[in-house]
């Protein structure tokens, strides 16, 4: 079906919210990982979200360019072309954009979508994330509101974050922050819903102890009831229609029952990056270890082209990552929920 439009994206999010499941949002940084994401959603018969971070965009542009916005544009354009060949609906999103990257990353991408729309073309991205969580809440939301107005003009949904996701991702390290910064309060959620809800539809990454990176099960101390209490506070203050579309960041190492609990409280999107990185790399390492004398020209030998050809291990990596995405769809209950051509 290809990349959805604004109305179709809203239908996807509404479907998740009404039926208490979430879409895996898969970070990609290359055509190969983009292919794996599309394949994973196809295998699961799940609609899904493919996303690019600032670091992923920079990597995707290659060493000769090193431009996060141009790389994101190139990856999104590639996905637009290939997604047409898949029988599931795909939304394109950009991940954490911190305040310092608004000018070099977020605004150029919004401008690119505006340019495309003026020429009768579909949006490049369906949604973007502005992560102003390092700022005081009032400043964070004020900046979010200004960006959201630009997004609404172009039928783009903005994702924002209150509280801070711990750990390190894409070179942004929050591991030294005090523990209370890892938890959004009900008051934060009500304030955000009131300020941004009057502008348009948005998603909120409310934090409840989540941490970026990979951890053994049990090492991350989540408090999903924070989401429940925040949603209840929003409903009490602003009405049932104001209940938030929530996003779960930093889910690696989370217990499955905790993930399922968040779905009951309104999580409709969960970011997946660390686990799919490992799934992609694991078969490549195996190929190298098992074919050491084939991938290297040892002692004057010529090696074995069939095992050092990048396609030989690239296909294995793509399939492994796709299988991990299919597992994520199972965990998030999105398997078999594709709206297909009905949207």
> With helix as H, strand as E and coil as C, how does the chain read?
CEECCHHHHHHHHHHHHHHCCCEEEEECCCHHHHHHHHHHHHHHCCCEEEEECHHHHHHHCCCCCCCHHHHHHHHHHHHHHHHCCCCCEEEEEECCCCHHHHHHHHHHHHHHHHHHHHCCCCCCCCEEEECCCCCCHHHHHHHHHHHHHHHHHCCCEEEEEECCCECEECCEECCCCCHHHHECCHHHHHHHHHHHHCCCCEEEEECECCECCCCCCCCCCCCCHHHHHHHHHHHHHHCHHHCCEEEECCCCCCCHHHHHHHHHCCEEEEEECHHHHHHHHHHHHHHHHHCHHHHCCHHHCCCCHHHHCHHHHHHHHHHHHHHHHHHHHHHCCCCCCCCHHHC
Residue 212 has what pLDDT? 53
The whole-number average pLDDT for the span 197-208 is 95
The whole-number average pLDDT for the span 98-111 is 98
2-342 to CATH, choices 3.30.499.10, 3.40.50.300, 2.60.200.20, 3.20.20.70: 3.20.20.70
Residue 254 has what pLDDT? 80
| Joined tokens for residue 150 | 């630009």
Task: Return the bridge partners of 245, or none.
Answer: 203
Report which of 326, 295, 275, 321 is spatially closest to residue 32, judged by C-alpha positions: 321
Report the alpha-carbon distance of residue 17 to residue 268 in Å, rounded.
Answer: 6
Higher pLDDT, 122 or 343: 122
The whole-number average pLDDT for the span 69-98 is 98
Residues 6+ apart with CB under 8 A from 75: 28, 29, 30, 31, 34, 52, 56, 57, 60
Residue 242 has what pLDDT? 97
Higher pLDDT, 239 or 179: 239
Report the alpha-carbon distance of residue 13 to residue 22 in Å, rounded.
Answer: 8
Residue 33 has what pLDDT? 98
Question: What residues are labeled active site?
Answer: 95
- Inform me whether the pLDDT recorded for 213 exceeds 60: no
Q: Is 310 exposed, middle or buried (0-12, 13-18, 19+ CB in 10 A)?
A: exposed
Report which of 101, 70, 83 is spatially closest to residue 39, judged by C-alpha positions: 83
- Inform me whether the pLDDT recorded for 208 exceeds 60: yes
Residue 168 has what pLDDT? 46
Residues 6+ apart with CB under 8 A from 101: 54, 68
Mean per-residue pLDDT over the chain, rounded:
92
Residue 299 has what pLDDT? 84
Higher pLDDT, 209 or 228: 228
Residue 28 has what pLDDT? 98
- Inform me whether the pLDDT recorded for 223 exceeds 50: yes
- Inform me whether the pLDDT recorded for 133 exceeds 80: yes
Q: Is the pTM of this model over 0.75?
A: yes
Report the alpha-carbon distance of residue 110 to residue 301 in Å, rounded.
Answer: 52
The whole-number average pLDDT for the span 137-147 is 97
Residue 255 has what pLDDT? 86
Task: Return the bridge partners of 250, or none.
Answer: none
pLDDT digits (tens, 9 = 90+) for 291-330: 999 999 988 889 999 999 999 999 999 999 999 999 999 9
């Amino acid at each position: 079906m290809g990349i959805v439009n604004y109305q179709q994206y809203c239908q996807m999010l509404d479907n998740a919210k009404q039926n208490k499941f979430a879409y895996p949002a898969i970070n990609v940084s290359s055509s190969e990982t983009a292919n794996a994401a599309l394949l994973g959603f196809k295998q699961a018969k799940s609609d899904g979200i493919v996303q690019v971070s600032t670091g992923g965009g920079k990597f995707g542009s290659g060493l000769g360019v090193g431009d996060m916005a141009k790389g994101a544009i190139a990856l999104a354009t590639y996905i637009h072309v290939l997604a047409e060949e898949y029988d599931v609906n795909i939304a394109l999103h950009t991940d954490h954009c911190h305040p310092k990257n608004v000018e070099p990353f977020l605004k150029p991408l919004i401008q690119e979508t505006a340019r495309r729309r003026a020429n009768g073309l579909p949006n490049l991205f369906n949604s973007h994330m502005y992560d102003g969580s390092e700022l005081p809440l009032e400043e964070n939301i004020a900046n979010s509101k200004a960006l959201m107005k630009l997004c609404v003009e172009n039928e783009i949904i903005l994702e924002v974050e209150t509280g801070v996701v711990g750990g390190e991702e894409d070179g942004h390290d929050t591991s030294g922050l005090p523990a209370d910064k890892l938890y959004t309060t009900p008051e934060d959620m009500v304030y955000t819903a009131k300020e941004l809800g009057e502008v348009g539809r948005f998603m909120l990454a409310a934090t409840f102890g989540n941490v970026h990176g990979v951890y053994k099960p049990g090492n991350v101390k989540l408090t999903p009831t924070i989401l429940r209490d925040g949603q209840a506070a929003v409903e009490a203050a602003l009405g049932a229609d104001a209940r938030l579309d929530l996003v779960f960041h930093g889910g690696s190492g989370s217990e499955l029952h905790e993930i399922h609990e968040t779905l009951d409280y309104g999580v409709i999107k969960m970011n997946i990056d660390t686990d799919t990185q490992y799934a992609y790399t694991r078969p490549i390492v195996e190929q190298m270890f098992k074919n050491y004398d084939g991938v290297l020209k040892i002692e004057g030998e010529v090696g074995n082209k069939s095992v050092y050809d990048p396609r030989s291990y690239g296909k294995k990596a793509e399939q492994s990552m796709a299988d991990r995405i299919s597992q994520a769809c199972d965990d998030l209950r999105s398997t078999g929920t594709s709206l297909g051509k009905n949207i």
